[in-house]
Structure 1
């Protein structure tokens, strides 16, 4: 989990907000709706992963580049 950001270093949140609003052509209602939809999608993904793990279905381990022989 990411570490909490100090209250004096919120510039990346400000930039993310500006970017989200710009992607919705400045429409704040559309921006909020898009963020809610994205959050719901991520919550569903998390629920599905938790269910898969609880039933013993683990995702494949990715091989690290250092483990591959050149």
Structure 2
């Protein structure tokens, strides 16, 4: 992480770089706002994952997540 990824042959940029440019464009070029938006989305996804861990048994998930102690 932290370094630009090489794009697949025949493509101008990697998918992650394209999404990064889209995030910056959505934030009118303000990198701090773009980063805050990404971090907020990440926090929501982490919360959703934590809720799903509580709702789904360890057996059903086949050990994909560890059972809470």
TM-score range, shorter chain: 0.5 to 0.7
Structure 1 unpaired stretches of 5+: 1-6, 55-70
Once superposed, which parts of structure 1, at least 4 consecutive aligned residues long, lie more than 6 Å away? Answer: none
TM-score by length of 2: 0.64
CA root-mean-square deviation: 2.0
Count how many residue pairs are aligned between Structure 1 and Structure 2: 50
**Runs (5+) with no aligned partner, structure 2:** 8-12, 58-69
Secondary structure of the 2:56 match is helix
TM-score for the superposition, normalised by structure 1: 0.63
More helix by share: 1
1:12 aligns with 2:15: yes
Higher RCO structure, 1 or 2 (CA under 8 Å, sep 6+) = 2
